[in-house]
């Protein structure tokens, strides 16, 4: 578990400055109670001295993964086979592509050593399956060598083409698309501010938590995170947090939370206490694009799903997962499903790319 791995050892193995792989982010999840046996996310990180760390969790459900295997679980149950517990490796509640092997410099042999130890635990335990979600391309070869099935899906990312300012980005779009974005951004009654680093306060964290809860209620979803988590990251991870807030007549009405590193911006949560047309697009997309341009970030990952992002400058890209199923019969069925799904992903990306708004 992370609280059994010192901050010094964790940071020694951290491959780069990705905020989700930081000790501060992972520890905030643990200290706030967002992960742990009580929530069905029991950490089982593997640490081999002088090699690295592999992150994984014992899961008793499939919530918070953004990869839908409920159909697999239902099929297991119908045949009297338990799907849970299973092993899942990802950043909890975060559909972001990151390394699963904490290695200062990625090395296939070191990754393989960690994966083999993980698979021994998987085979000896009463786990139906093991899943590695949102793989980096460099990791795929390691999993394929150990007979994992590679599954694909689609996300939508904004790529900064060294734009000097937001208007230059708009100039790269078709006239009608750019006009629509200008129209969506126009709201003279609102004041929108961005806060990061020492500008962030505990009050900002509390307000963001309240906005987050409003979204959870509106979507009838699960509140995986609590106020303590937001306060911890606003304090301990402030150099990687961007908080954007909208106010009307001096009163805060909406907020959005992003994380960033040296190359990427990651959109995560948003919420509003007052419905304002197009405010979601402004806080979740346009403010993020503007921040990327001003800070020379290369990519903006705005979260899972959302074909509507295409018209706003985001491109469809593949994301990857690796799966291994113990039951041979179900393994064959899952393999066939994954192969068919890959063809659908390829077709979908080709079709979606026809609607890109660029000139």
CATH number, residue 251: 3.40.630.30
Q: Is residue 305 part of a domain?
A: no
- 150 and 320 Cβ atoms separated by less than 8 Å: yes
Q: Is residue 211 part of a domain?
A: yes
Q: Is 17's pLDDT higher than 80?
A: no
Cα distance between residue 53 and residue 47, in whole Å: 4
What pLDDT was estimated at residue 305?
80
Q: Is residue 272 part of a domain?
A: yes
Q: Is 15's pLDDT higher than 80?
A: no
Whole-number percent of the chain with pLDDT over 90 = 89
What pLDDT was estimated at residue 157?
97
Are residues 286 and 329 both part of a single domain? no
What pLDDT was estimated at residue 154?
95
Handedness of CA 329, 332, 334, 337 (dihedral sign): negative
Are residues 128 and 28 both part of a single domain? yes
Burial class of 167 by CB neighbour count within 10 A (0 to 12, 13 to 18, 19+): exposed
Are residues 289 and 171 both part of a single domain? yes
What pLDDT was estimated at residue 2?
54
Are residues 150 and 7 both part of a single domain? yes
Burial class of 271 by CB neighbour count within 10 A (0 to 12, 13 to 18, 19+): buried
With b meaning 16 or more CB within 10 Å and e meaning fewer, what string describes 117-134? ebbeebeeeebbbbbbbb
pLDDT tens, 167-224? 999 999 999 999 999 999 999 999 999 999 999 999 999 999 999 999 999 998 889 9
The count of residues in the chain is 359
- DSSP letter for each residue of 51-120: TEEE--EEESS-TT-SS--HHHHHHHHHTT----SEEEES-TT------SEE-SS--HHHHHHHHHHHHH
Q: Is residue 141 part of a domain?
A: yes
- Mean pLDDT, all residues of the chain: 94
Q: Is 27's pLDDT higher than 50?
A: yes
Q: Is residue 133 part of a domain?
A: yes
What pLDDT was estimated at residue 16?
67
What pLDDT was estimated at residue 1?
47
Q: Is residue 304 part of a domain?
A: no
Cα distance between residue 242 and residue 256, in whole Å: 8
Cα distance between residue 170 and residue 176, in whole Å: 10
Are residues 6 and 148 both part of a single domain? yes
> Going by DSSP bridges, is the β-strand pair 241-248/251-260 parallel, antiparallel, or unpaired?
antiparallel
What pLDDT was estimated at residue 116?
96
CB atoms within 10 A of CB 299: 14
Are residues 150 and 179 both part of a single domain? no
What pLDDT was estimated at residue 304?
81
Cα distance between residue 242 and residue 261, in whole Å: 11
Q: Is residue 307 part of a domain?
A: no
CATH assignment at residue 42: 3.40.630
SS3 content of the chain, % helix, strand, coil (to 5): 45, 25, 30
Q: Is 332's pLDDT higher than 80?
A: yes
What pLDDT was estimated at residue 303?
85
- 149 and 322 Cβ atoms separated by less than 8 Å: yes
Domain that holds residue 341: 2-154+317-355
Closest CA to 36 of 82, 7, 2, 70: 2
Q: Is 133's pLDDT higher than 80?
A: yes
Are residues 321 and 288 both part of a single domain? no
pLDDT band at 10 (very low <50, low <70, confident <90, very high): confident
Are residues 230 and 327 both part of a single domain? no
Q: Is residue 230 part of a domain?
A: yes
Are residues 76 and 166 both part of a single domain? no
pLDDT tens, 271-306? 999 999 999 999 999 999 999 999 999 999 998 888
Are residues 217 and 333 both part of a single domain? no
pLDDT band at 12 (very low <50, low <70, confident <90, very high): confident
Are residues 23 and 129 both part of a single domain? yes
Number of domains in the chain: 2
Q: Is 105's pLDDT higher than 90?
A: no
Give the predicted TM-score (pTM) of the model: 0.95
Q: Is 253's pLDDT higher than 60?
A: yes
Q: 36 vs 5, which has greater pLDDT? A: 36
With b meaning 16 or more CB within 10 Å and e meaning fewer, what string describes 342-358? eeebeeeeeeeeeebbe
Q: Is 72's pLDDT higher than 70?
A: yes
Angle between helices 227-236 and 23-31 (to 10 degrees): 160
Are residues 144 and 167 both part of a single domain? no
């Amino acid at each position: 578990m992370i609280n059994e791995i010192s901050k010094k050892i964790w940071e020694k193995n951290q491959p780069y400055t990705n905020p989700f792989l930081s000790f501060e982010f992972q520890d905030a999840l643990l200290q706030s109670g967002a992960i742990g046996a009580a929530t069905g996310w029991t950490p089982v990180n593997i640490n081999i001295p002088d090699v690295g760390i592999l992150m994984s969790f014992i899961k008793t459900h499939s919530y918070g993964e953004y990869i839908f295997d409920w159909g697999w679980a239902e099929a297991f149950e119908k045949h009297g086979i338990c799907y849970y517990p299973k092993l899942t490796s990802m950043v909890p509640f975060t559909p972001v592509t990151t390394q699963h092997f904490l290695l200062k410099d990625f090395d296939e042999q070191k990754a393989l050593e960690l994966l083999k130890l993980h698979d021994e635990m998987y085979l000896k335990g009463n786990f139906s399956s093991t899943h590695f979600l949102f793989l980096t391309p460099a990791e795929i070869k390691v999993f394929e060598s150990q007979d994992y099935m590679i599954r694909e899906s689609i996300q939508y990312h904004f790529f900064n083409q060294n734009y000097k300012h937001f208007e230059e980005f708009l100039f790269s779009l078709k006239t009608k698309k750019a006009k629509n974005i200008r129209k969506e951004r126009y709201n003279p009654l609102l004041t929108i501010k961005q806060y990061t680093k020492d500008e962030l306060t505990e009050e900002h964290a509390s307000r963001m938590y309240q906005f987050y809860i409003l979204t959870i209620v509106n979507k009838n979803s699960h509140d995986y995170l609590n106020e303590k988590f937001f306060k911890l990251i606003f304090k301990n991870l402030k150099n990687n947090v961007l908080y954007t807030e909208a106010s009307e007549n001096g009163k805060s009405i909406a907020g959005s939370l992003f994380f960033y590193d040296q190359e990427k911006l990651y959109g995560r949560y948003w919420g509003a206490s007052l419905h304002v047309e197009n405010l979601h697009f402004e806080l979740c997309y346009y403010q993020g694009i503007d921040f990327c341009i001003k800070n020379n970030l290369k990519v903006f990952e705005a979260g899972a799903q959302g074909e509507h992002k295409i018209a706003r400058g985001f491109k469809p890209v593949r994301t990857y997962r690796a799966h291994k199923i113990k039951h041979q019969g179900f393994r064959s069925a899952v393999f066939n499903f994954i192969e068919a799904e890959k063809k659908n992903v390829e077709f979908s990306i080709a079709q979606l790319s026809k609607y890109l708004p660029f000139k």
